[in-house]
């Protein structure tokens, strides 16, 4: 089976960093065409820099990284340094990137690459959907070459940045609205799933035991990121963004169903909430596959096995 053409849009973030490492370690499964960075967990200057540092850590310097949108489409910018630290990948002491980002803007890269594609491309989105939404607005014809979009964002239940809303959607709900209304196959991986995949101390020790530079960086990041989550949720680090890559690698680890998802755009307590029609009350056709469960042990077994494939330089 040939490798799946893939573009990852992200805002690293410790959990984005782990997701990128999982993708970089899966070269047989993914033809990774590029990484696009967007403002989100930390400002754009940090996210694109972090993506390049993680690329170098994985030993994949050939993968291009494109800087994208520095702010949301409409709302005022928000970020999450209070969770991810000033750099976004606090806990990983990584050297300066080996080369600069590509000169093209991420939105232009998305439009040009999708327009020229000879086979459909999968989009894995790990942050606010600004880059992807603006690419769709700029040239809706690109949707014909999108195989599917798998997005980490939203929730059936409660939020994490407000009582109602999850961070990625809340950070740019207007962009999320554009993407959810785009009419392409869309899988939503929300908090209901990602809070089942927790980096517990035994799972972290299994990663640490690999004894490599990537495993050391992962554990350093997750130690700090997990401590913040213990304060908020009384458990360790949830693997939000790695669930996207894991789903693409092994969808059988997950369970979900098709449903209608609308994004709340009205200002107020529910701004940025994903309204999931769990029981088909509206009679409106489904626009997303919404995942609800993950085999957490299977997920971490895959993650550890893939991290072991990365460069084995000792810590």
Does residue 240 carry a catalytic annotation?
A: yes
Cβ(271)–Cβ(173) under 8 Å? yes
113 membership: H or E segment, kind and range: helix 106-116
Q: How far is CA 98 from CA 56, 62, 106, 116, 121, in A?
A: 7, 11, 19, 28, 27
Cα angle vertex 14, ends 11, 16, to 5°? 45
Bridging pattern class, strands 288-294 and 186-189:
parallel
Catalytic residue among 105, 174, 240, 279: 240
Structure token pair of residue 283: 């009679």
For residues 283 and 260, what is the distance between their CA atoms, to the nearest angstrom? 9
Cβ(106)–Cβ(68) under 8 Å? yes
Cβ(126)–Cβ(244) under 8 Å? yes
- Helices marked H in 25-65: 44-57
173 contacts: CB under 8 Å, gap ≥ 6: 75, 165, 263, 264, 265, 271, 272
Could you write out the DSSP letters of every residue in 171-238?
HSHHHHHHHHTS-S-EEEE-HHHHTTSEE-HHHHHHHHTT-BHHHHHHHHHHHHHHHHHHHHHSS-EE
Catalytic residues: 240
């Amino acid at each position: 089976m040939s490798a799946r053409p893939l573009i990852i849009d992200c805002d690293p973030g410790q959990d984005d960093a782990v997701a990128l490492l999982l993708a970089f370690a899966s070269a047989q499964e993914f033809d990774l065409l590029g990484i696009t960075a967007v403002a989100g967990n930390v400002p754009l200057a940090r996210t694109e820099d972090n993506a390049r540092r993680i690329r170098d850590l994985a030993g994949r310097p050939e993968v291009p990284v494109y800087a994208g949108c520095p702010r949301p489409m409409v709302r005022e910018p928000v970020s999450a340094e209070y969770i991810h630290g000033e750099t976004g990948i606090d806990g990983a002491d990584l050297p300066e990137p080996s080369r600069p980002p590509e000169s093209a803007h991420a939105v232009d890269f998305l439009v040009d690459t999708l327009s020229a594609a000879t086979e459909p491309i999968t989009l894995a989105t790990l942050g606010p959907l600004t880059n992807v939404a603006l690419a769709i607005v700029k040239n809706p014809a690109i949707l014909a070459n999108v195989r599917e979009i798998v997005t980490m964002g939203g929730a059936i239940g409660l939020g994490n940045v407000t009582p109602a809303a999850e961070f990625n959607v809340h950070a740019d709900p207007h962009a999320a609205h554009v993407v959810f209304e785009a009419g392409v196959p869309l899988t939503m991986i929300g908090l209901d799933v990602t809070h089942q995949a927790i980096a517990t101390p035994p799972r972290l020790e299994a990663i640490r035991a690999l004894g490599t530079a990537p495993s050391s960086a992962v554990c350093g990041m997750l130690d700090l990121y997990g401590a913040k989550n213990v304060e908020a949720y009384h458990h360790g680090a949830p693997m939000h963004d790695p669930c996207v890559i894991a789903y693409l690698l092994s969808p059988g680890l997950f369970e979900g169903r098709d449903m209608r998802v609308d994004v709340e755009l009205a200002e107020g307590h529910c701004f940025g909430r994903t309204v999931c029609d769990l029981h088909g009350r509206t009679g409106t056709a489904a626009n997303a596959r919404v995942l609800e469960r993950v085999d957490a042990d299977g997920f971490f077994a895959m993650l550890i096995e893939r991290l072991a494939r990365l460069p084995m330089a000792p810590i």
